[in-house]
């Protein structure tokens, strides 16, 4: 009986000890994680003030990337890109983890650089905040959409905040045109 109690205690200690070690482990992004877990474009609908779905649609893309500023380098960031049926484009960035608030920055010299697999480049200014939760609203939305339509594979993106921060990630352009052509506004009476 004593051996059984000791075995149960030992197993409990091992189980709780392993859990405590796993919970205190810190996440350090590796170079191999730099552009991992890119998810394809997915179609969604907006919600109203009561969080009920509307018929107005948009597509969304999620990526992980890195950011750099005067305090940190090679630190993970999470990016969401939205393109709606009105051809509006928003980019939402979270630094460090997915629970952080979205990054807010609008300066006269904030801009986005993109380069596709063919070596073609695209530059666009950031003009405003998307909404009261943050997000970046870009100036040249139709050219942004057209650049993704003509791109194949991954597009490298660099966002400069106009101060000292740089955000780097990749967008998979494959599937963008099909997803974009599938979104629509609500019809009258829907």
Which of these ranges, 45-59, 126-140, 169-183, has the smallest mean pLDDT?
A: 126-140
pLDDT at 100 over 60: yes
pLDDT band for 136, please (50, 70, 90 cuts). Answer: confident
Q: Select the more confidently predicted residue: 27 or 163.
A: 163
pLDDT at 143 over 80: yes
pLDDT at 28 over 60: no
Q: Select the more confidently predicted residue: 157 or 19.
A: 157
User: Residue 31: how many CA atoms within 13 Å on its side-chain side?
Assistant: 0
Q: pTM here?
A: 0.71
Which pLDDT belongs to residue 19? 31
Which pLDDT belongs to residue 26? 28
Percent of the chain with pLDDT over 90: 23
Q: What is the DSSP string of 99-150?
A: TSPPP----TT-EEEEE-TT--EEEEEEEEEEETTEEEEES-HHHHHHHHHH
pLDDT band for 186, please (50, 70, 90 cuts). Answer: low
Domain 31-181 CATH assignment equals 2.60.40: yes
d(CA 121, CA 114): 6
Query: Is residue 96 left, alpha or beta, with left meaning phi > 0 and alpha meaning psi from -120 to 50?
Result: left
Q: Are 113 and 103 in contact (CB under 8 A)?
A: no
Domain segments of the chain: what residues?
31-181
């Amino acid at each position: 009986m004593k051996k059984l109690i000791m075995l149960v205690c030992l197993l409990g200690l091992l189980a709780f000890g392993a859990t405590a070690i796993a919970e205190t482990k810190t996440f350090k992004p590796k170079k191999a994680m730099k552009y991992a877990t890119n998810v394809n474009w997915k179609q969604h609908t907006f919600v109203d003030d009561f969080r009920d779905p509307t018929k107005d649609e948009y597509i969304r893309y999620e990526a992980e990337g890195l950011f750099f500023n005067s305090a940190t380098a090679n630190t993970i960031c999470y990016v969401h890109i939205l393109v709606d049926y009105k051809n509006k484009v928003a980019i939402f960035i979270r630094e460090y983890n997915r629970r952080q608030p979205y990054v807010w920055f609008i300066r006269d010299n904030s801009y986005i650089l993109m380069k596709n697999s063919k070596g073609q480049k695209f530059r666009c200014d950031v003009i405003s905040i998307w909404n009261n939760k943050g997000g970046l609203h870009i100036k040249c939305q139709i050219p942004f959409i057209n650049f993704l339509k003509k791109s194949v594979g991954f597009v490298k993106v660099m966002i400069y905040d106009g101060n000292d921060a740089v955000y780097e990630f990749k967008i998979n352009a494959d599937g963008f045109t099909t997803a974009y052509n599938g979104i629509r506004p609500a019809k009258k009476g829907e």
